[in-house]
Chains A and B, each alone.
Chain A
Amino acid sequence: MIEFLHENFRYLLSGISVGGQYALIAIGYTMVYGILRLINFAHGDVFMVAGLIMVYAIAGGLPMWLSIILVIVLTVVLGVAIERVAYKPLRSSPRMSVMISAIGVSYLLQNCALYFTGGLPRSYPAIPFLSKQITIWGATTKMVTLITPILTLVLVLALVFLINHTKIGMAMRAVAKDFETSQLMGIKINSVISFTFVIGCFLAAIGSLLYFSNYTTVVPTSGAMPGLKAFVAAVFGGIGSIPGAVIGAFIIGICENIIKAFGQSWTVFSDAFTFVLLIIILLVKPTGIFGEKATDKV
């Protein structure tokens, strides 16, 4: 057992790391769903754009620290702008309209990326600290593998604190339950929704720094697969629940990498696993691990 674990330790490590990256994206899905009851299909693509911003910032000759700040700031601005332009005007429309709008934004971002990159894979700059090679228990990996789960947990704890113990967090919980009564309290609904997008995009930007340090190239569809898996993680954990999304993301990340340890012939099934899991959850427990009981927003 120990032998097997030791031999395949690198798979477990990269599973935990990928899981952390999925978690950072999944929180964006689950928080937006919690407040707007909207699956923000554009979220994965915002994540991809964050990757491209880094590529172009470094290519433009900016120093590393400034590029990282730029990635975070521009990603947040992009997310809030998308909400203002594509979702806010549809606030009182049927939910289906907003969802279609989100799908539209997703394709818009992919196509803009295609235009700017010319469809060629852009190589992601090596962030010196994250790309350092290290060896843990015989497994050689990059520093980012170790940093990701730690950073993810720190950010998640900070977020949970924010939501449970601050005024804006209280407002977020109130708005998630009842728009109209929140308004009667004097809460500005639109500011709270924008703030939710700020957090979601901030975490996606951090996630992109970690994820692309591992995968090293960005293409216009780079956001699709991690976005989809993070979405599955959010559904698995119970969409709307932050701890659920994080746990779901780690489970998916670890499982899809552990599969690779069974040998070459299993590796091809690593993605399939995630989606089989999605189908099983939807059949067996559609509300996920921590999902709220199926009370629809009235």
Chain B
Amino acid sequence: MSYDGKTPMLDDLEKGAWPSFVKEIKTAAKRTNTAKDLLGILERSYRDKVTHWKHGGIVGVLGYGGGVIGRYCDLPEEFPGVAHFHTVRINPPSAFYYTSSALKELCDIWDKYGSGMTNMHGSTGDLVWLGTQTDKLEPIFAEITAKGWDLGGSGSCLRTPSACVGMSRCEFANIDTMSICHTMTHKFQDELHRPAFPYKFKIKVSGCANDCTAAIARADMSIIGTWKDNIRIDQAEVKNYSSKMNIQEEIVGMCPTKCMSFDGGSLKINDKDCNRCMHCINQMPKALRPGKEKGATIMLGGKAPIVTGALMSWVIVPFMKLEAPYDNLEALIRKMWEWWDDNGKNRERIGELVDRLGMRSFLEATGLPPVPQMVKAPRTNPYVFWAPGEVK
């Protein structure tokens, strides 16, 4: 059966107030056969209740092991425009800052070689180009690299690091997230483009515990800005807030560690008990500010449920001073990778390896000291033991 251009099931998804992906693909279909056949094969998939995509594992550009995700359809005669429908991942600038001319430059390349459809941004953080053919990959690569862009990561490699806007426009940033992301991307070019790990590894950098990159749930290594000293309090501003909000109920009562008290006039914080969650600072930004001794909490092991179940990140360094060129961070990451490389099974994320071999093995390999912040849940301490040689 040949495709007649009609898409009754997709048309239903144009209704309603929200922007519709169907409307966008239809707009693109006026210009390219790729988009036209994408509509057709999607309508067909809805009707057949089965995907018509096949994974292509070997397509890419010469020398790189990542950045292109191969896709073919299983109905190429019926939908020739999507016989090849490869995805290209473009490594974005830190925190997704583009000038309008940079976006135009990228879109011009994509209109020339691909479907014109994009996904900004994919969950890894790359600018994603949807739909091109195998013979267009090298020309795309040549054009983007000539203009200073590069492919992002895919496969068993370091995925494109990502960061929140940090100090560029956020008053809560405790670390220079964009600089860290940019520097790590440059330091780890080999690991990004030439997959040599047991599986993927994601680094995400958030400037504070609000964690705008959702690193804690999504990154194998979360770098979360924090502070070591005391929260700075402006009691006059606290008084102003007290006329507009119920500080006892909304701030003190919701503090997760119950480290605050308010007597109606001034706010007191027992900083030793504070876990730097940012709730009070978010609610009263004029009255409360992070301390002056800033750095990051380094966490390990967050991941979505792909091979095994989802994991949340786990503290491995409660406080690390982070200043350019971040050699201390690089050294830690390389030690972690070495241990993972030596012990990880195929498709085993680093957090899963910690679960399998134990935190003790990880700590011995990296030289990190066991600290109370590593305890994942109350009354659990499964990894700190005396080794036989340490007992006198």
Are A and B part of the same complex?
A: no
